[in-house]
Structure 1
Amino acid sequence: MLKFTKMEGLGNDYIYVDGIHQKVDMTPEFITRISDRHFGIGSDGMIVILPSQKYDFFMRMFNRDGSEGKMCGNGIRCFAKFVYDHHLTDQTYLEIETLAGVKRVWLHVENGTVQSVKVDMGQPSLNTQDIPCLFNKEQMVDEPLNINHHIYRCTAVSMGNPHVVTYVDQLDFEIEKIGPYFEKNEMFPESVNTEFVQVIDRQHLKMRVWERGSGETMACGTGACAVMYASYVNGLCDSQVDVELLGGILNIQYQDGHIFMEGPARTVFEGIMNEEDFKNV
């Protein structure tokens, strides 16, 4: 039997599992089955809490299709809430190891539970090698990209994981018809997360996101950070903005070369699963 907690940050929901005190199956087959919204628990994937040799904790995150991601901004806020609320730590400042590097987080606690979390998301990069992106320049900033016979002006950003940002006049369109063409475009050898952005004003951006391995999600923390930085570089916003996603609003700030993200984290429910039920489907 495996204990788990369903959590969400702006509707970006994952199954959280304590991998310190129990053995966790991290195979793609198992993750895909428990993430299924009809036959499983239902989620955008699974996040596992693990010990770190050098830092407070190590976070591994997996997409709905079982592929492993490097980092999840909404996920790390819920991760921080999990370890505090489950008494794995009593600290309100944590350093969490991820495949995208170490992230510093500050917990806002009320009445013994975490209400919101601020995360130092690190230094964004426009270097195409960091993304990786096979564009023929060192940076892809407001450059034309042919996607399924349409030209989009694109800016590619690494937040420890790959993002491409493009701007639209309005967000009412069928994202499922265009998102996969961005995700699997040969320009991005490790595939890419795609953000479609509407600029409301210099302090307010709206976006929809197509995440690699998951499709459209309610929110993407690293995506909101990439959107803020791409917009800042393109002269479309100030150094601190509210980024509005389908699931709610994140406050994103660019300061001293780092991106800081602040937003909510919420526990939906806790439960116990019999792993064997999902291994023999």
Structure 2
Amino acid sequence: MEARERIFKYQGLGNDFVVLDRRGSGEDIDAAASRWMCDRRLGIGGDGVLSLLPSDRGVARMVVHNADGSIAEMCGNGLRCAVKYLVDTSGTTPGHIDVETGAGVLTCFPSYGEGGVVGVDISMGPARLVAPNLPSGATGQPFLDAFVPGHPPLRAYAVSMGNPHMVLLDQPLEDASRMGPLLEVHPSWPDRTNVEFVRVDSDGLTVVVWERGCGLTQACGTGACASAVAAVLAKRLPADAWLRVTLPGATCASASPPTCPTSASVDRWPLSSRALSRFPRAGNLPRSSRPQVRTRRGRTHPRRRRRPVLPSARQRPALASWASRGRGGERNARARRGGPYAVRPGHHRRGDAGGGRLRSHRPPA
């Protein structure tokens, strides 16, 4: 990683990514760099790193690095963030752009508002239902041997949106944190899988996603599409209408279910971005995100100005009495009697830092 590389942070529905524009150098980062950048304590923090490389088939080629250093074939929410970055930095407002991903070249349609791109509609392409290495060989049929220790067999759908998904309908959403890591490494997926826990509502779906290589996430675009495909296949929702997909990071989102999975779309969800300046400088970071400084005593804390310690109400009378009897007290008493006196602040002695010369004063007549 270059010492002065410009880094951006984008998020969609709370699903946040570090964006690196490497179309100039053409060099991708390694697994160690992606793990460090996604570390929320020691690095920048994020669910993944989006590395944008040169491409002959589109505006850029997007490589998705998971938080654990692995590479994902596709990320719908990450692609939306990448499209917003590409349009924001181009100075133009194209009607659509093509981006090369691990799942092929996808066409993206930005929508504009105040501040540039406010949403992206993506044609996700055909959804594949059963891969050759899965136990169910019949297209569209669920497989029933998703085994979790201490749990009865699970009814799951295998859906690929360019990346693998295991969709569990009517599974308690609170089980995601416990069962997600076990199902991620299910032997049917040698390269691991994303896991969706789906509750079918009257007007749509509520989904919690355990993302491969990342864990629980606030949102997942391909997971929303895969959940919609599974719900339509199970005949739980109509196949000719838009569905509302509620995710932890958003009030609601929507996905277009296919009649027979041939296409799917990610609707226009809110997006935002933030430039992180040239790392490791922190001039553009919010105060809470600035690097820590080490003091001479070895303590680590954000740099701040010390506030003066003022005496309390109970201490003020004693301090006033001490001042009248302390240094300069005799001169003050002489002044009250009407004689000449010399005044120097009691805490400034001759030779001390900040000390002043003696000044002769005579009380006014």
SS of residue matched to 1:153 = strand
SS of residue matched to 2:32 = helix
Q: Which residue of 1 aligns with 2:42?
A: 39
SS of residue matched to 1:127 = coil
Q: Which residue of 2 aligns with 1:213?
A: 213
What are the Cα deviations for residues 28-81 of structure 1, in whole angstroms up to 9, with x where unaligned?
111101110111110011001222112222111110011111110001111110
Larger proportion of strand? 1
RMSD: 2.1
Q: Which residue of 2 aligns with 1:272?
A: 278
Q: Which amino acid aligns with 1:137?
A: G
How do 1:60-209 and structure 2 match up within 5 A? 60-87=63-90, 90-111=93-114, 113-129=116-132, 133-139=133-139, 141-144=141-144, 145-150=146-151, 151-168=153-170, 170-173=172-175, 175-201=176-202, 203-209=203-209
Q: Which has the larger displacement, 105-114 or 223-232?
A: 105-114
Structure with max Cα Rg: 2
The count of corresponding residues between Structure 1 and Structure 2 is 271
How many Å apart are 1:216 and its aligned residue?
A: 0.8
How many Å apart are 1:23 and its aligned residue?
A: 6.3
TM-score, scaled relative to structure 1? 0.90
Contact 1:128 1:140 in 2 (8 A): no
Change (3 A) 1:165 1:121: same
Contact 1:176 1:216 in 2 (8 A): yes
Q: Which residue of 1 aligns with 2:7?
A: 4
How many Å apart are 1:172 and its aligned residue?
A: 2.9
* Runs (4+) off by over 4 Å: 22-25
**Structure 2 CA distance, aligned partners of 1:271 and 1:183?**
36
Q: Which has the larger displacement, 254-263 or 73-82?
A: 254-263
What are the Cα deviations for residues 232-263 of structure 1, in whole angstroms up to 9, with x where unaligned?
11111123201111111321113572101112
How do 1:40-55 and structure 2 match up within 5 A? 40-55=43-58
What are the Cα deviations for residues 166-212 of structure 1, in whole angstroms up to 9, with x where unaligned?
02354234x232111101111111111000000111x3100101111
What are the Cα deviations for residues 107-157 of structure 1, in whole angstroms up to 9, with x where unaligned?
00114500011000010011222xxx4314234633322222421110000
Contact 1:141 1:154 in 2 (8 A): no
Q: Which amino acid aligns with 1:191?
A: R
Q: Which amino acid aligns with 1:219?
A: A
SS of residue matched to 1:86 = helix
Q: Which residue of 2 aligns with 1:233?
A: 233
Contact 2:36 2:42 in 1 (8 A): yes
Q: Which has the larger displacement, 103-112 or 3-12?
A: 103-112
Q: What percent of counterpart residues are identical?
A: 32
**Structure 2 CA distance, aligned partners of 1:33 and 1:228?**
34
TM-score, scaled relative to structure 2? 0.70
**Structure 2 CA distance, aligned partners of 1:89 and 1:182?**
44
Query: Structure 2 stretches of 5 or more lacking a match?
Result: 282-365
Is 1:243 the counterpart of 2:229 in the alignment?
no
SS of residue matched to 2:61 = strand
Q: Which has the larger displacement, 137-146 or 23-32?
A: 137-146
SS of residue matched to 1:116 = strand
Given candidates 255, 260, 265, the residue that maps to 1:260 is 265
Q: Which has the larger displacement, 16-25 or 80-89?
A: 16-25
RCO comparison, higher one (Cα < 8 Å, 6+): 1
SS of residue matched to 1:109 = strand
Q: Which amino acid aligns with 1:264?
A: P
